[in-house]
Amino acid sequence: MLNIIQQRINQLRKELNEHNHNYYVLDNATISDYEFDIKLTELQKLEDENPKYFDENSPTQRVGGEITKNFENVTHQNQMYSLSNSYSKEDLLDWEKRILKIIGIEKLDFTCELKYDGASINLTYKNNKLVTAVTRGDGFKGDNVTSNIKTIKSIPLQIEDSFLSNFEIRGEIILPFDGFNKMNAERIENGEEPYRNPRNTASGSLKLQDSAEVAKRPLDCLLYHVVTESTKYETHFEILENARNVGFKVPTEIKLCNTISEVLDFINLWDKKRHHLSYETDGVVIKVNNLHYQNEIGYTAKAPRWAIAYKFKTEQTTTKLNNVSYQVGRTGAITPVANLEPVELAGTIVKRASLHNADQIEKLDIRINDTVFVEKGGEIIPKIIGVNLEKRTSDSAPLKYATNCPDCNTELVRTEGDAKHYCPNEFGCKTQIIGRIQHFISRKAMDIDGIGTETVELLFTNNLLTNYSDLYDLKAEQIIPLERMAEKSAKNIILGLEASKQIPFEKVLFAIGIRFVGETVAKKLVKHYKNIDNLINASFEELKNVDEIGERIAASILNFFSNSSNIRLVDKLKQVGLQFKISEENTNISDKLKNLTFVVSGVFEKFSRNELKKTIEDNGGKNSGSLSKKTNYLIAGDKMGPAKKVKAETLGIQIINEEEFIKML
């Protein structure tokens, strides 16, 4: 039985949490600030006098005070994807058509939500308590900013168990206009430079080292997505409604729509009303409402297929084109860059914009000293969309595209059918060499701790690297004397390199930088060829017949391995211990399902959908997202759409259940 002190502490915590929720989530204060502070002070005193009742999720812990000098970089348990963008009714109709085809039904319900312009965050709850808060990062890894997030009063630190006990919930950390304007007024009064825009200020706030400083900022959190293995809820709308009921700040603007026409009505409404919101928004997110269908539709490598963002018309302005410079990438591709007279656009100062390639320059007829129209593509990357010909001077002349590499002065080449020019000096062009090493050490490739892009440049400049295989020759005593380096930094680099020898084959293949071989293609090649020698010896015909490998990729692979310098690099990486064959745990358990294609649909008892798909691949089979003449089996679970069954029967595809699939193995 609880004693009197413990009972009072629990009562105060419960009351204060309720008052926080009423004020910061419901915008409905039920007591005065003075009364709230009296209760908080009483609780703080009781906790100080009785440390054995300390709780990291107590309302007293929201004031901050923790100092974090280096934020821990952690891997997301579930990838945080980006969203595909659309800009017209036609885009949305095409999207609807694609997803209906995947699941084989004629009609879907959608949810529409405003697209909040803030800093993405992933909150993990275990046993109803907030345990971690991690930034989006690159979608695979982010920074642990839990101590800072706990200062945001609209985020519940603990919830009742009527919702879910273990789950992730995602949203945007935002800075409402009122709070942003107040912060800037104080900065101006203190003679400081005002912050540029709410989004960047919110994002920067999450990385402040002192959580007490974060607590002073009027940050808020709007939540929009729950990730869970539970099948308790059937729809996206239902799960968000229940999340709101237990204390999460899920905006009420969410709407259920039965048709794309209703979706467009929602978009048109909020394209006007958004200017009256208390926070920034740049579009509408449309999602398939049924959670089961979301799983059926699945993901691309970068985005969910079951969701799409409709972006409001981008802000546009004009400025002067001062000159055009050229950048060379790690593959030798040349990108022209417009250098502009600085101009403010969508809250940021724009000085540069990509011109993509020579064809784009010719199409727009862009000339030096032109007045150009600039907008932010997808509200992120500035681009030139046209020229104000009325302001063009009579002495202007067409722009002459670069003929030589801006780095090594090698004459550029352009193959037939390719939009870009290339520098062919692959092993002598400094920028290409550094770019390939930077790609090699990047998170999605070898993910080498201790080495960043600036470190690569430093090592190259000091003649310690000429290619990425040289990384494994580095010694701590070579690194310590370099600028900004010390013994600890040097040791971290050596440890990071040693740890990278355990990185799996598919990431190593992506890391070595074969043109057109991205993450997804690398996985396909690894699964098919099992080791690097098989891949090196593959013919053009063999390569292009691999699943999803076309002629362009096949030619690029052959070209890479026909170069003796690349073969020497691979041989050296083999010798130092990198993984160039598929690991035992990734090797197929059997080939019983070889040459068979499956479509998985419905809910199963003995497998999750992902487990079922993995079992198919582990036994040599192939998964497909939609039914076609190439499909051999449809594995049907509970709640499978009737249209999918009809389509399978029409195509003569054998329909089996979970038990029949197990018997096949």
Point out the residues that are catalytic.
Answer: 115
DSSP string, 120-175: EEEEEEETTEEEEEEE-TTSSEEEB-HHHHTT-TTS-SB--TTS-SSEEEEEEEE-
* Contacts for 29 with CB less than 8 Å, ≥ 6 apart: 19, 22, 23
Supply φ then ψ for residue 85, to 5 degrees. -105, 150
Binning the chain into helix, strand and coil, the percentages to the nearest 5 are 40, 20, 40
Spell out the residues 6+ positions from residue 651 whose beta carbon is closer than 8 angstroms to its own.
627, 628, 629, 631
Amino acid at 155: I
Between vectors from CA 639 to CA 634 and to CA 645, what angle results, nearest 5°? 40
Q: Which residues contact 199 (CB under 8 A, 6 or more apart)?
A: 117, 118, 119, 174, 175, 280, 347
Amino acid (one-letter) located at 148: N
Three-state DSSP state, 491: helix
HEC states along 297-332?
HCECCCCECCEEEEECCCCEEEEEEEEEEEEECCCC
Give CA–CA dist 214/369, Å, rounded: 45
Distance CA 247, CA 87 (A): 34
Q: Identify the burial level of 320 via C-beta atoms within 10 angstroms of its C-beta, where 0-12 means exposed, 13-18 middle and 19 or more buried.
A: middle
Q: What is the DSSP secondary structure assignment for residue 71, as one 8-state letter?
A: P
Sign of the C-alpha dihedral computed for residues 58, 59, 63 and 69 taken in this order: positive
| Alpha carbon distance, N-terminus to C-terminus of the chain | 55
b/e for 69-105, b at 16 or more Cβ within 10 A? eebeeeebeeebeebebbbeeeebeebbeebbebbbb
Length of the chain as a residue count: 665
Secondary structure class of 271 (helix, strand, coil) = helix
The SS3 call for residue 66 is coil
Q: How far apart are CA 162 and CA 459, in angstroms?
A: 55
| Neighbour count for residue 67 (Cβ, 10 Å) | 12
DSSP H or E segment with residue 16: helix 4-24
How far is the C-alpha of 203 from the C-alpha of 215, rounded, in Å? Answer: 14
CB 51 within 8 A of CB 75: no
Evaluate whether 501 touches 453 at the Cβ level (below 8 Å). Answer: no
Residue among 115, 663, 39 at smallest CA distance from 378? 115
Give the CA count within 13 Å in the CB-facing half-sphere of 352. 9
